[in-house]
Amino acid sequence: MMRVVALIIALMPALTFAIDLSKSQRAEIEARIKPYSQSCATGDDSCAAAGAETAVAAARSGEDVYNGACMACHTTGAAGAPMLGDVDAWASRMTKGIDALYASGVNGVAGTGMIARGGCADCSDEEIHAAVDYMVNNSQ
């Protein structure tokens, strides 16, 4: 017991010094790390300056989004979903135009199993569009 107390007493100056050091340098450290702690979300104005390329590179490909969010229904045809590779099914939907299909991807198709964004809540509009492109391009 005495040994532990002695050890703590012996360490006190060092501990106090460490706390003083962090206090006196806090402002400097905060200033130094600030650029790295500034976050930017895709679509933010600040992102354009902070490096739009990073945001673009982080976007998932149409194939990735399809495999993650859409294939559950569009590979099996669940609930009447037009299947990937079903040329006739997609040709008739394409008569509406790609923008209409993009809108269906983003907003869903009311009253059907096609829910908004195919349930991918964190997919951006661009990622949904890419997934629609992927399905259409692989169904011709």
Contacts to ligand HEC by CB under 6 A = 65, 69-70, 72-74, 78-82, 93, 100-101, 104-105, 109, 112-115, 117-120, 128, 131-132
104/124 with CB nearer ligand HEC = 104
Q: Is 50 exposed, middle or buried (0-12, 13-18, 19+ CB in 10 A)?
A: middle
Q: Decide if 138 contacts 112 (C-beta within 8 A).
A: no
40/64 with CB nearer ligand HEC = 64
Q: Minimum CB separation from ligand HEC for residue 122, in Å?
A: 11
Burial 8-21 (b: 16+ CB within 10 A, else e): eeeeeeeeeeeeee
Name the residue whose CB lies closest to ligand HEC: 118
